[in-house]
Structure 1
């Protein structure tokens, strides 16, 4: 921890005392929200700067210490207008807290530019691991910002894969590989962002746990509907989307289907996702993202599209699409469905 604090002095986040935070938050009187690791309180400093103080539970808990170091060690090093700003932290004996810029607690389905910056522009790549609506906030000008870096990891650019122990992220948004004993890449954030986009399209959670068990998972319903009908007409009607938005919705649907591909190497880079959404890149017809949900004894055919395909060209080359190989699903269907549809 001493070495960590020495490193942070170079990065310039301010170290606050518990007394300073108690004064700024009026003794932690205005609760903004709470979660598994702590509670967030509204505060105001003497210069009228509004802040959100995230007070972590259990100061001696090893997991809390890891989350504290993860957040300060990642977001404390970077600056981007689509990332929430960390002003500083408190590391007193009885109080561990993170002090962020205050943002409206309005939730939005993310920003591709902020995630692309973490993956592709930082000196060390940052993988967020927990992209979901609750972690996308709006500032006073309705600019979306990515927040909550408690599960984030730094990795060197030459390391394309990371090994992990135990699952990360939130079921329903976490990529399937996060629940398996396989190496992880930054493409797991791309998957989560795709799930967020589906929720924008459908104006609802991808799965409503209050409805009967027979309810169909929305992303899979979208794919089956497009596969059978060839267009988004039924989707537009079901989601009560105005016909004037058809072109935008079609672009969003195709982009989302590419993001949630089961095989991580098929997912586009976040910088390409930005181009897709901005209309600066043509979007090829997506392959089936849910082929793994077939009977696990079945043999299925998959196009070998890799993430490198997306780096320079706006669509996959014909040689890549033509290169097909048989893929046998090794994971039982029931396990994967449970991982992906719980929210």
Structure 2
């Protein structure tokens, strides 16, 4: 048998491990910011019918431009966008891979601000783009001076700003984003994977004025479509054309396109769940503060709380009780996704039962 060590693996991949949060079969899964509510029976039946219809032409390649889906996404986003402003791929992961394949590469840099999404360095590594980070402010926020100073120092081709930020849930206001666009020539990607959970405005409002702005989204969270793998961006048509150059042929299956279009047709129903999940997350944060935990202000469907002297022990104690959350973010913190009311009640009860009591928290 041949081993990985016997293969001519790229030098920068030697010793690397595949990315991925734990996938463990437990009763309560609150670790990857999924929507805990599956599509309703009505939506599932429509998705099934759409797949049956698509199956009639599976002997042919799918629409490689996904123009129908891109048009539906443009209509959902509004702001006068059309299909030419939208690019769609297998999750926002592939969207980012397309962007850095097109605009990154050897001799180029991508800049972002930590703590932030843990896949960003892997996008950079896989596209041979230099990955540069600058710390956020102590409260995990960003302002124009910090971002523009980092851009001036590092001269990135692409800059990533995540809002609401994963794992902290903190947001960046439009004035800051616009100041960065006006004060630099970087391609600015505003990652809005959790925007539907936020009460603040979207960077989509700035697209018409700023051709170097790219707004990235996903259908995994708000549309309960994590298993469908649909991510997308909105940008100037020229940026979409750049992604079209580097995409693999027929990168989005006919089934995926069909399911996503059904979900978009039911956006009102699905977005009602978004509001309830955001409320569930804020209620958990209020409860955690009342128990003496430090909680980061979030505008997403997840909460970052701590600080734990030994966060792994707490993570394991919860897992032993059948509750899976995420060991991520700044030292001493854990992240929990909003679940159903019953799931969150069980989590709160389990945290209260932890033994020995957490240092600095009331027992």
Q: TM-score by structure 2 length? A: 0.24
The structure whose residues are more often helix, as a share, is: 2
